[in-house]
A and B are shown apart, each in its own frame.
Chain A
Amino acid sequence: MSSEFHPRNEAEARHIEALKQEHLLLDHKTRAEMNDMVMEAVEDTSREWKIAVTVLGLVTAVTLFGAWGYMMLNGLGLAGIRRPIYWGLFIVSFVFWIGISHAGTFVSAILRVFKAEFRRPFTRAAELMTTFGLAAAGLYPLVHLGRTWRFYWMMPYPNQRWLWPNWRSPLLWDFFAINTYLIGSTLYLYLPLIPDMAMARDRSTGWRRAVYGLLALGWRGTEQEWKNLQKAIQIFAWAIIPVMFSVHTIVSWDFAVAMKLGWHSTIFGPYFIIGALLSGIAAVNVVLFTVRATTKNMRYFIRPEHFDALGKLLLIISLSWAYFFFNEFILEWYGGEHTIKEILKFYMFGDIAPVWWTMVTCNVFIPGLLLWNRKFRRTPWLMFIMGIVVNIGMFAERYVIVTGALSRNRFPFDWGWYEPKLVEISIVFGTFMLFLFLYTLAARFLPLIPVWEVEEGQHSHTWRRIGKAVLPAVSDLESLD
């Protein structure tokens, strides 16, 4: 499709050039050039990269699997969870990673459904976060079991007496919801990857060509193949959204269905979802900045306009989180129930207060004050820091909900204080390393940019003259049949 546009004078040419610098989809390159850029990034396995992967792999092996193995050998008693606080850092991290995994789907599926053009270059980077975030989250139910080798008891099959698992247990709902989401989001990551795998296949040699060829599944780009792929992506984009909502709602029900003050709340489902989106979108900023800074040619694909758009989204979600948080807080406080008042007092002024105030500061005050500023949103390293700050806040939120509420019960003799032990801290640290390890590996194997989607977006964007002004115009090619 022709994208040629002839400016009438010098000023118009400068204006067009400025817009091209700003928007990826106006800054056309040929597909061959973009393919080269993406493949150069994929094949750039420098010495530094190899060292980074080795170190991350070793640290993951020691801090995650080493500590986990040590705990399995010596028992769950090594962790700091004691009566009355039976859920600690493992469950906090489980909820945290499930939250992180929400961003990929949110950014990709919802923005795809709404045809938000700015999504195109970074959907895959976000979807990868979902898959690896779920991989990290999925470990925690196993870690928390203590006797991990009994994990198959969670699976839906009958025992010798033909008794099946309890379908009414939220823990079993977790099993189904997380697996549905993991399978669905992995397939959703893979589907748009198929044409890019074919591109990689056509441009590589040796073992890479064999692997890419296998993953491309014989893709040729026929009309029928595109139609089937687009239909499937459409189905996935619509269907994965309610699945995403269901997953974190069910995770919130792990708490809310218990008759436990501080947990038993009808608002917990949406409150958890909005929290997941907040941490997830913040994490997308962190990942995009890191990918842009460490991977070749990514500055062309990931630009300040993308951080700007994500910053606006983050601000809206941060305000929404504040709204839900306040709704939950005010009603519990206003109700005046004695134990609840003790819990709230404990949150705000008790031993856990630093964590509670960190949560409020990082999730509401800092984003609320800074993200209004366009310059701030358009500065990638500032958005990276913002992503980290918000995630500290969201980790603190989960810590307060899980351990804080369990610290204060109806009777004072049932009160307690939780201190995470070294083995727990090591495992939690290890899952962060695992995430980084998997992501670093994937960034040098999978084309992180969906090139065909970027090209499709560039075809949709052209120039239009209205009076004396030249403007970008977008055609809705996706709606054509």
Chain B
Amino acid sequence: MDMEQYYGRYEPRMFVAVFDDVERVPAALDALRQVGVTDDFIQVQTGVPYASSILGRPRVWSAVPKYGLTGAVIGFGLGLFFTHGTAWLYPLRVGGMPLYSVPPSLVLLFELTMLGLLVSSFIGVLVESLLPPVGKPPVGNRVYHPAVSDSAIAIFFQTSRVLADEALQALRGVGAHEVTEVEGSFV
């Protein structure tokens, strides 16, 4: 065995296994883990949202609320600037009246806080899930199976050539109706 053949055995390859029924997916994922494919190298695509506990996958966290909170704080700050800050830019004092009034300010503070929350939550969805992370391959290379929108469940996994046959056999054993090799990346 020459060097190229030796290292070729460990070259990562990506596969997809497609299932019609979610009931088979946890068993398929267990089978992959038994073969030695860890959760970091598995991605599950579904046509409806399944909780991690249904699929038997590690819990997924979302950073969208952090975006929302940041946007809300920015919106509140903008509201403060409008209702209180601008009064100081060109102060007009009239007959001992205060420069600004708190109760009517609350309306704008509320609206701008909510606007910041909503817009930034939306931006959070775009940044966190739909745009590729900086430095990663472009969107065109991301793996996808169109049967997902017809409710099929696609398990993409990456493994070395030495483990591939065993993994594919295990997946067919738990009822995958299609197991093929694909090119691309998870991100």
Contacts and interface: CB of A to CB of B under 8 A. Distances in A.
Interface of A: 1-2, 30-32, 35, 156, 158, 161-164, 167-168, 172-173, 176-177, 179-180, 183-184, 187-188, 190-191, 194-195, 198-199, 202-203, 217-232, 235-236, 239-240, 242-243, 246, 250, 452, 455-456, 459, 477, 480-481
B60 A32 contact: no
26 contacts: A1-B22, A31-B47, A31-B48, A31-B151, A32-B150, A156-B82, A162-B89, A163-B90, A173-B111, A176-B112, A180-B111, A180-B114, A180-B115, A188-B118, A199-B150, A220-B142, A220-B144, A228-B125, A229-B49, A231-B64, A231-B65, A235-B68, A236-B118, A239-B118, A455-B151, A459-B48
The binding surface of chain B is classed by DSSP as helix
Given A167-B83, A176-B111, A184-B114, A224 B60 contact: yes
A235 B65 contact: yes
Contacts of B114: 180, 184, 239, 242-243, 246
Nearest to A457: B48
A224 B127 CA distance: 12
Instruction: List the 6 closest A-B pairs by CB distance, nearest first.
Output: A31-B151, A480-B51, A199-B149, A226-B49, A164-B86, A225-B129
Given A183-B115, A198-B149, A235 B64 contact: yes
Contacts of B57: 223
Given A228-B63, A239-B118, A452-B47, 4 more contacts: A30-B151, A167-B104, A191-B122, A222-B43
Contacts of A224: 60, 62, 128-129
Interface in B108-161: 108, 110-112, 114-115, 117-119, 121-122, 124-126, 128-130, 139, 142-144, 146, 148-151
B143 to A, nearest CB: 8
A222 B45 contact: yes
A223 B122 contact: no
A220 B82 CA distance: 41
Nearest to B78: A156
Contacts of B124: 228, 232
A228 B128 contact: yes
Contacts of B111: 173, 176-177, 180, 243, 246
A447 to B, nearest CB: 11
A193 to B, nearest CB: 12
B82 to A, nearest CB: 6
Nearest to A257: B104
B162 interface: no
Contacts of B129: 222, 224-225, 228-229
Nearest to B61: A227
B70 interface: no
A9 B90 CA distance: 83
A385 to B, nearest CB: 36
Interface in B68-120: 68, 82-83, 86, 89-90, 92, 100-101, 104-105, 107-108, 110-112, 114-115, 117-119
A232 B115 contact: no
Given A235-B117, A246-B111, A455-B151, A1 B21 contact: yes
B149 A167 contact: no
Contact of A195 (B43, B47, B52): B47
Contacts of A232: 64, 68, 121-122, 124-125
A183 to B, nearest CB: 7
Contacts of B82: 156, 164, 167
Nearest to A164: B86
Contacts of B186: 222
Contacts of B104: 167-168, 173
B47 A220 contact: no
Q: Which of A161, A167, A172, A224 has the most CB of B within 10 A?
A: A167
Contacts of A239: 114, 117-118, 121
Interface string B34-64: 0000000001111111111111010111111
B23 interface: yes
B37 to A, nearest CB: 16
Q: Which of A31, A158, A176, A222 has the most CB of B within 10 A?
A: A222
